[in-house]
Structure formats: structure tokens, C-alpha cells
Amino acid sequence: MLSKRVFDLKPSETLAITSKAKELKKAGVKVVNLSAGEPDFPTPENIKNEAAKAMKENFTYYTAASGIPELKIEISKKLKEVNKAFYEPEQICVSAGAKQGLYAVMQVILNPGDEVLLPTPFWVSYLEQIKLCEATPVLVPMDEKNKIKADLIEEKITSKTKCLILNSPSNPAGMICDFKELKSIADLALERGFYIISDEVYEFFVYDGKTHISIASLNDEIREKTIIVNSFSKTYSMTGWRIGYLAASKEIIEAVSSFQSHAIGNPNSIAQKAALEALRGSQDFTYKMVKAFDERRKFVVKRLNEILKLSCIMPEGAFYVFPEITQTKLTSVKFAEKLLEEAGVAIVPGAAFGSDSHIRLSYAASMEEINEGMERLEKFCRKIKC
């Protein structure tokens, strides 16, 4: 008999749909995949070369559970210089991707019955990881523009509140939390004594002159209450390498390192060397990728707002759009199923993110694919009878 923890566990909707789209493509079906949560650019050559070098030099053995010292030093340097978040190397833990790092953090700070404030819409794995820790997710609605608001958070705080998950830029809505709101949220956390898990994996994917601000940069007090979760997956197109990192107080990092020593042993040794090169090498790749995504973002939003029965807010960051489908009178799951079956376009239903009135599309695809996807989507929506 399986444990009670997994009875209600749902597989990742995003990974499931991406997998289904790939299977259909292999079977000869012409599928336009707009569901992927990963860049369509290859990992930069200098990073791949460093990984090959590590293998040739037999850097293939166990490392420290929290990662190699030189990588933690480089991550600390990056956090200080880029994010103005002053974490020392001993406050860094390298993880097997941001997802594993996030789960490790939840395991070391949450007890059964603790409440986790979860702004909605949310990334799919937040909810399931909270439940796996036997904690209670408390959904916090965002405003009409899918932005996080401190006053809406405050309404949900109780004596059981243990932490808030802050994702900016956000997945799936692509919205950024500005300085004023971050300051109000930080004040709440300090006043009421809860942690902030700050998921910053889309930090460089910002547009229209917007900037990403890490809440840990506001002051020393909030930095002690903040756990930064980050990854090399999006910034350097390294999703399959499974390498990320955490930054937090020494107490939390020591606990996470201990947890990792029993859960994964250590992050992949070769991926750690590749990550080191990613930080030390040229950042031109990332800037070029973000520029390409910006062009796609503008095109996709324009096309979506031209399609009958759909409406879409311009996202400020990440590489997703989150259009509303209320006028179609379909649930997001039914919409996604019919769109894939009838039009050969893979997207993710908003229900997976806690918002059944929306769907998520990724513009991490070629302009040719995106254009084809928009054409098919428009024809599909014309056929929907309301």
C-alpha cells in the first residue's frame, strides 16, 4: 500500500503535456508545442566544453553535499554583485536544480499543519511539494493584472503561517513584483515572523525597462528571513543539467546540506563544473536570448488579442503568456485537450496553476512555430460555439 502522502499527488501537468506533444511528433503528427517551460536555445559551447573537460579530467566522483567550494564562492559573488544580496559562500547550497532545492527547503522548515502562503496563479510544483510536507497551502489571490499585493497577503496570515512563496518574475503570469510591494511584503514578514521563499529563476527575463529586485537585497533583517531559490536552467538553457542553488541563513543551509546528504548525496559533479563556467564566462548568450524572447512576447500578445474569445495581459518577465479563455465557456483542461486533438497545438491548462479561466503558452519556440501555433489557435477559437 502506498503512503498517504502520495494519494493526492498529481504529476506535473507541464511535463506531462510536453511529453505527450513529443510522442505525437514522433508518431508523425505535426504538433506545435507551446507548452515547454524551457528555452529553445542550446546550452552555450563554453559551458559544454567545460563539462567535457571535467569528464576528461575524471571529475566524476562525489563532492560535498552542498556543492564544490569554488562554485559556492562564485554564486556568492554573483549574488552580491548582481542582486545586492549579501550571502557568504557558507550560506550557499548547490542543488540538483531549483525544484529539488525548493523541496529540500520545504522539508527543513515546514512541519505538518504549517501554512504556506501561495499567490495564485502559481507554478504547478509549489502546491504538490507543500502537500508532500504535510503542510497546508493557503491560496492568495493576485490582483486583476496577476500581480502580488501585500494587502491581499496580509488578509491570509494566521498564527500558523510559516512562509510565503514569492515568484518574481512569475510563472505562469510573467509579472514582476516592484520595489514598493516588495518593501510592504518584507515588512509583513518581519512583523509577523514568517519566512520568504524567493524563487528567482526568471531573474534575467525582464522586459520594457523593468528590473528584477531580490527581496533579500532590501535590508539585513529581511535577508535573514529570505531563502533564495535559483537555477542555471533558464538563464543558460541548462534545463536537463539539473543544477541550481539556494542562499539562506547558515542555520537553514546547514540543515538543507544535511538533508541533501541523505536525499541526493550531492549535486552532479560535472554539472557543477559547467555551472562554474556559466558564471565566469561571457553573459552575451543570455542577453541575446532575452532579446529574442522579447520580440516573441510582443508578437504573441498582439496575436492573442486579435483572436476572438481570448484576451491577454502583456507579461513583464519570464517567457510565458497567460491569456483568459472565459468567453469560450470551456474549462482550461477541456480547452487544452481539444486544442491538441483538433488543432495539434500543445499548451498547459490554467487549472494546473490554480486558475481555470486561463491557459499558459510558452514563447520559448521559434517564430515560425509560434506563428503557426497562433494561426491554428485562431482557427480553433473560431469553431468554438459559446
Distance CA 288, CA 280 (A): 17
Q: Where are the domains of the chain?
A: 4-43+284-383, 45-280
pLDDT of residue 85: 99
* Contact present, 108 and 252 (Cβ < 8 Å): yes
pLDDT of residue 386: 61
- pLDDT confidence of 132, banded at 50, 70, 90? very high
- pLDDT confidence of 17, banded at 50, 70, 90? confident
Domain 45-280 - what CATH class? alpha beta
Q: Which residues contact 90 (CB under 8 A, 6 or more apart)?
A: 72, 250, 253
Distance CA 168, CA 175 (A): 7
Architecture of domain 4-43+284-383: Alpha-Beta Complex (3.90)
| Torsion of Cα atoms, 148 then 149 then 154 then 157, to 10° | -10
Distance CA 301, CA 321 (A): 7
Backbone torsions φ then ψ of 189, nearest 5 degrees: -60, -40
Pairs from 300-305 (Cβ < 8 Å, separation ≥ 24): 300/361, 300/363, 300/370, 300/374, 303/374, 303/378, 304/361, 304/374, 304/377
- Mean pLDDT score across all residues of the chain: 97
- pLDDT confidence of 182, banded at 50, 70, 90? very high
